[in-house]
Amino acid sequence: MAAISYDEAQSRCEKSGYNLASFTSQAEIGQMETVMTDKNWEYWTGLKYTKSTDSWKFTDGTDTQFASRLLWLSNTNSQCVLIRGDGTLRATHCDGDWKYICCRVDQDHPRTVPPTSSGNDKSVITANITLGGSGIVELISKPSEAAVATATTGQQASKFTSPADTQNVTIIAAKNPGSSAAGILASFSNGIVTDDSWRCRKDPSNLNKWEKASTYRRNDLNISWNQAISEIKQNAQWIWVKDLSASRVQCKRNL
């Protein structure tokens, strides 16, 4: 994922129905840490100073009371906020180039924070997921809840966690405009990988039926770089719908 400005990052999130990430608790910051695959980078959040109202706001309208306790917000010369790999925040100018995290918060898709995993933790199922090209991936483990979405590319995997008793999962993938490569690649800590046992459909979901996932190649023959994604099991296969031009896809499977 290329480093980009705050406005460009927000624009990319919005095109897939999201906003730059917001947070209201330390637990939610912990969830964001799990999807920051490159700990040496800092990532844009949705917190920004608005000159017209002389106040700090999240782009999705989330309350800033918790965030204001973590960041000295009086310095309005630095108008946008980054989160570091260790979960700390830093204000900076909005025209710098950084990576970013997207999430969605609304009545249909409330922000949820699954428990985090530390290696052999049996209380959760860990998933490593990537998207061919570049775009946004999201893992849903309950019909009424959506995990924090994260921007990704086919060169890196994003980490998600779900409760150990999760029965079904749905991966939602949205390609960035201009991204030609299509495909979802994933493996789970319980042994499940993406293959032709998954069922996929194009979004909007109410217009399209589920179909058997189309598979393209194994992880050891990566879509674009002919190299494996180290965080994902070698036997995982890239999956998508038959229509490779589809820009937004859902794929589901029983665990």
Out of 71, 103, 135, a domain closes at 103
Residue 188, in any domain of the structure: yes
Out of 70, 103, 136, a domain closes at 103
Residue 197, in any domain of the structure: yes
Longest alpha-carbon distance in the chain: 54
Q: Are 55 and 159 in the same domain?
A: no
Q: Dihedral (C-alpha) 51, 52, 58, 64: value to the nearest 10 degrees?
A: 80
Which of 124, 168, 136, 147 is CA-nearest to residue 14? 136
Q: Are 18 and 95 in the same domain?
A: yes
Please give the residue range of the domain that contains residue 171.
Answer: 124-254
Residue 116, in any domain of the structure: no
Q: How far apart are CA 212 and CA 216, in angstroms?
A: 13
Return the pLDDT at 154: 64
Return the pLDDT at 240: 95
pTM, two decimals, is 0.67
Q: Are 10 and 48 in the same domain?
A: yes
The answer to whether 242 and 214 have CB atoms below 8 angstroms apart is: yes
**CA 224, 151, 138 angle in degrees (round to 5)?**
100
Q: Are 165 and 44 in the same domain?
A: no
Q: Are 132 and 70 in the same domain?
A: no
3-state SS class at 124: strand
Residue 16, in any domain of the structure: yes
Q: Are 169 and 59 in the same domain?
A: no
Here the CATH number for the domain that contains residue 161 is: 2.60.60
Residue 50, in any domain of the structure: yes
Residue 202, in any domain of the structure: yes
Return the pLDDT at 4: 85
- Stated as kind and residue range, the H or E segment containing 134 is strand 134-140
Q: Which two tokens stand for residue 146?
A: 């959506």
Residue 36, in any domain of the structure: yes
3-state SS class at 59: coil
Q: Write the single-letter amino acid at 75.
A: N
Residue 108, in any domain of the structure: no
Return the pLDDT at 162: 82
- Beta-carbon contacts of 53 under 8 Å, excluding residues fewer than 6 positions away, are none
CB atoms within 10 A of CB 139: 25
Q: Are 140 and 246 in the same domain?
A: yes
Q: Are 159 and 91 in the same domain?
A: no
3-state SS class at 229: coil
Q: Which two tokens stand for residue 83?
A: 């989160």
Q: Are 87 and 159 in the same domain?
A: no
Q: Which two tokens stand for residue 22?
A: 């917001």
Q: Are 95 and 192 in the same domain?
A: no
Q: Are 93 and 176 in the same domain?
A: no
**CA 198, 200, 204 angle in degrees (round to 5)?**
155
3-state SS class at 13: helix
Q: How far apart are CA 151 and CA 174, in angstroms?
A: 9
Q: Which two tokens stand for residue 178?
A: 């201009």
How many whole angstroms from its chain centre is CA 131? 10
**Overall number of domains in the chain:** 2
Which residues in the chain land under pLDDT 50? 1, 112-120, 146
Q: Are 33 and 62 in the same domain?
A: yes
Return the pLDDT at 178: 74
Q: What is the pLDDT of residues 3-36, one digit of tens each?
A: 789 998 898 888 777 889 999 888 788 777 777 7
The strand pair at 89-92 and 102-103 is best described as unpaired
Here the CATH number for the domain that contains residue 70 is: 3.10.100.10
